[in-house]
Structure 1
Amino acid sequence: MQTHERGEVAIRTCALSMGGAFAAAALSREPVVTAAAHVFAGAVWIMAWVATLGGWTITRRLSRASSGGIAMGSWGWGHVTDTAGVSVAFLSAAALLVASPLLGLWLPMPRVSARGEKGDMLEDPEVRLPLTERSGARVVEIEYRVARRNARSFRSLMQEVQLFRQRNGAYGWAIARDIADPELWTKQLSLPDMA
């Protein structure tokens, strides 16, 4: 099974699992069962983010991508709860979650360009300083020697690499050409600490 298909299956499985957990929470009259359903739904929520984002960027991406959605969802479901009650709100959310895999058949998750997906485009840099989770942010600088006739295509490729790196948490991206040596290009980016 290809990576894209595994991600699609993971998202559908998470939606169905969360729908079941929401229904269990709505129908439960036992606090322990309700709490367990909420814990399960939270775990599935995190697994959905792991399946779509992967790696150590989850917390950053989760905070950026979902803040507005969480605010709007809280407002909307709050109104449903005020109008119809908690059980109806949870059962409505459960029904939408269970139905959402059908939406995925019509609007599947977007494919990401195969270029750069494996992350093995470059060798690991030589590191002479032992790095730990508390080492802080890192600045990476890589020099490239590119023939003048390839400069335009190199710049286009670096823009694609920039998107890949930013998707994985890099920031402060810059690519510069040395005006004294036009075949020398320097790429600089910062990587967040791993804590």
Structure 2
Amino acid sequence: MRAPTKWLVGLTGFLTLVIGCLLMAMNTNIGYVSDWLVSIMNRNTKLAMISLIVAGGFIALVGLIILLIGLFKPRTVGMIEFHGSRGVVRLPVNAIEQDLKLRIEDAVDVGHLEVNIRAHAKQRQADVKVHGTALAQDTPRYDDLGEAVLAVVNKYLKDSLQFKLRKRQVTIEAFRNPDQKARVV
């Protein structure tokens, strides 16, 4: 979760907690707090009704946001299920990452690979990050290596797993000079 999202969720959670506690204190008899709230409401009933409507609307809005996040947020899975030649196959994501790493090493002149896959099962989509180092010292174009790696990833996801590639990040570093990077985003 990014920092602004954490801040927004924290703020809405805090405001929901404060409003909920005030409404609970008003409905139950909790010492001085409920007496203070009732005295404020008796002085200006119109302001009290407006504040109750705003507080209730805020709580309903927070509930709606939490409901929508729960319904539509893509969930990552630890096991990927796909149809193989002998039926339905379930494999852990770690095994698929290792298999993809070996396929990339066989097809492209790249070593020291780090492959990270985040799979979203309901949408049949995956986010893939690949970081590697070119094995040849005189590689003319690192962009070509990045495109070749991306082609292997695409073919593997479509043909073997029946997944679509949603987000991709491929970074290939030079053999000796780590400042020369090719990045396919």
Q: State the TM-score bracket (shorter-chain normalisation).
A: under 0.3
Structure with the larger strand share = 2
Structure scoring higher RCO (CA < 8 A, sep ≥ 6) equals 1
Which structure features the higher share of helix residues?
Answer: 1
TM-score where L is the length of structure 2? 0.26
